[in-house]
Amino acid sequence: MQSNIVVIKIGSQLVLTKHRLSERFFAALFSQIKLLTDKGWQPVIVLSGAVARGKAIETLTGKHARAAFGQLELARVCGEAGEKNKVRTALVLVTKDDIGHRARYDTLQRTLAELAHAGIVAIINENDATTLGGVNDFVDNDQLASIIALMIHANRLILMTNVEGVFSANPQTDHEARLIVEIKNINLEIIQRALEGKTEYGRGGMDGKLRAARIATAVGIATHIVKGTDPAILTDILVGGKKQGTLCRARGRDLKDFTARERWIVSAQNSGASVQLDAGAAEAVKARKSLLAVGIQKIYGTFEQKECVELLDAEKETVALGLSEISSRHLHDLLAQKEKRYDVEVVHANNLRLL
């Protein structure tokens, strides 16, 4: 894909009012999308709200059927709003299995590249009509958006929500809470302080957005977390250069330095989980040596075998990304044993990517 690619994730709370799609919001959104394309940006939209839209049909009680109904409604509204603003759109439904399977991942990457080359804006959502639940699904659409951003080498990731950005504490309960305008490193304390609860419609809270931003910024993609009730904020940021919401600064190496296999591992297999290493293990990893279980002090989050995890040093700074040979459950069991095993390999040296 070409430069100036922006992935825009839009939360379900922005597009829905009592399970009805806001045509006014979509009209304003595609007016801004048109302005962005005229200024040389290539927008890709990750859109939530299909399942919630399906709840309006009382006879539909299952998530899968609600999603099937809601996806068509989202496609219709996007298509009509796009047509009025001379923006062509295409609907792309994906599952986590599509991302995890290398051949299907490559096919999706080529499809998005072809759509962008033709000037067509891709509308992406998880295919909730067929998902199985649990580890087989994306955690939320924030995670999906970060994966898509990595896949297509985006320059920016914008996560649009119904709050101003990231606060120092929960603004609903703490009047002293202040907006954090810029974050240079999304460490685990910041994620743990993200106290915003889940919304009526969405799956993820602010912690999910920060974890998505942590993945994207680790490979050089600046990420904005902003209040998106007025889509004009998109051109304010990308065209006007205005500071809005919270900017998470890019860190780590640019994706251009990654091989095709490394990009796939980092984007497609990323669990969003982290492990903290002792000083010796961190130095070994920096020397491109395999990570053994004995060098791990703490586990943050969960991951399955052959999923990518972030490796942190004692100060919780990112050292590398690696493909784990064992699951977090197995690793917890190993760390709980009184007699430490020194020979259990967690990440092989060939599956490490230093940052």
For 104-129, the pLDDT digits (tens) are 999 999 999 999 999 999 999 999 89
pLDDT number for residue 202: 42
Residues 6+ apart with CB under 8 A from 103: none
The span from the CA of 75 to the CA of 219, in Å, is 31
Share of the chain above pLDDT 70, in %: 91
Pair 126, 143: CB distance under 8 Å: no
Tokens 């394309």 correspond to: 37
Read off the pTM.
0.85
Q: Which of 346, 307, 289 is nearest to 100 (CA)?
A: 307
Determine how many CB atoms are found less than 10 A away from the CB of residue 83.
12
The span from the CA of 137 to the CA of 96, in Å, is 6
Which pLDDT band holds residue 290 (cuts at 50, 70, 90)? very high
Question: What would the two tokens of residue 24 be?
Answer: 């006014």
| DSSP-derived secondary structure letter, 165 | S
Q: Give residue 164's Cα distance to chain centre.
A: 18
Which pLDDT band holds residue 355 (cuts at 50, 70, 90)? confident
The span from the CA of 90 to the CA of 111, in Å, is 11
* Range with the poorest average pLDDT among 68-72, 77-81, 110-114, 203-207: 203-207
Dump pLDDT digits (tens) for 200-258.
344 447 888 888 898 888 888 999 999 999 999 999 999 999 999 999 999 766 677 78
Give the mean model confidence (pLDDT) for residues 184-208: 60
The span from the CA of 301 to the CA of 143, in Å, is 14
Share of the chain above pLDDT 90, in %: 55
pLDDT number for residue 140: 86
The span from the CA of 160 to the CA of 14, in Å, is 8
Which pLDDT band holds residue 310 (cuts at 50, 70, 90)? confident
